[in-house]
Chains A and B, each alone.
Chain A
Amino acid sequence: MTQDADCEKCEELLQAYLDRDLTAEEVLVAEGHLEDCDYCRRRYRFEAHLRRFIRISASERMPAGLMAKLAQLRGPTVDGL
């Protein structure tokens, strides 16, 4: 079944499924639906790939000098450590 209107209701479930924030029981419901619904399965793949793309695109390494600046904020050094 590929009813768009019906499957809009699945969004919330799929979102939590994609975020790995479902209980084991809910995972079964989500996976059961993905198994049956071609429409949601394609959206699921698209969403999963989009999330990865966002993560890769928006993730920026810490600038080189920052660690040294943070280390300077530490308390006094302790002998023998």
Chain B
Amino acid sequence: MSDSGAAEAEGDAGRRAATEARERVRFEEEALELADQVYRVARRMVGTREEAEELVQDTYARAFRSWKSFTPGTNMRAWLLRILTNLNTDRGRKIQRTPDQQPLEESDYFLANKLAAVEGEQALEQERVVERLSQGGVVDALAALPHDFRDVVVLVDLGDFSYADAAQILDVPIGTVMSRLHRGRRILKKTLAEESIT
């Protein structure tokens, strides 16, 4: 190769490297803009603030390392949450007992009925009845959910993900997302009814 040919090849490589670096920086900035939303989901998937911070940092460390496997134009927030839930599972949550499959005797409207019973059926018309519940009670009830159910409830209710996105993030069929969501919310409402109404 002549000197000028070598210089040209070097110039091409340099330009490619610069283009790639710009793409990476753009990816990193977009990912960082989602950090607060990622943290909000992470926070309710683990027990403590410290664990959530650590999990989010591990997620971003892995995301920044493997940024090239992200397909531009697809849902980056779902992509980040997929990494996060995988890491969280790796952290040994699998040792937690699998959710029991006993049928819940109470209907889905157990909490609604119980809250309504306090002030009579008419109270159900008023949104106020929910405010009998404490915010701390909701956090505790979420934390007490078996993790398979909690992850789905957190992704859909806090993360505002569609069933399809939640299915992809958790690598389960969409029907599983719907049934876990349904069941998870039932357990949540049952816990809230037991803890918050005395």
Contacts and interface: CB of A to CB of B under 8 A. Distances in A.
Interface in B30-64: 32, 35-36, 39-40, 43-44, 49, 53, 56-57, 60-61, 64
B90 interface: no
Contact of A58 (B25, B125, B131, B158): B158
Given A21-B162, A63-B49, A70 B32 contact: yes
Band of interface residues on A: 35 or more
A11 interface: yes
A70 B57 contact: yes
A4 B154 CA distance: 29
Interface of A: 4, 8, 11-12, 15-16, 19, 21, 42-43, 45-47, 49-51, 53-63, 66-67, 69-71, 73-78, 81
Interface of B: 18, 21-22, 24-25, 28, 32, 35-36, 39-40, 43-44, 49, 53, 56-57, 60-61, 64, 107-109, 111-112, 115, 124-125, 127, 129-131, 133, 135-136, 138-139, 142, 154, 156-158, 162-163, 178, 181-182, 185, 188-189
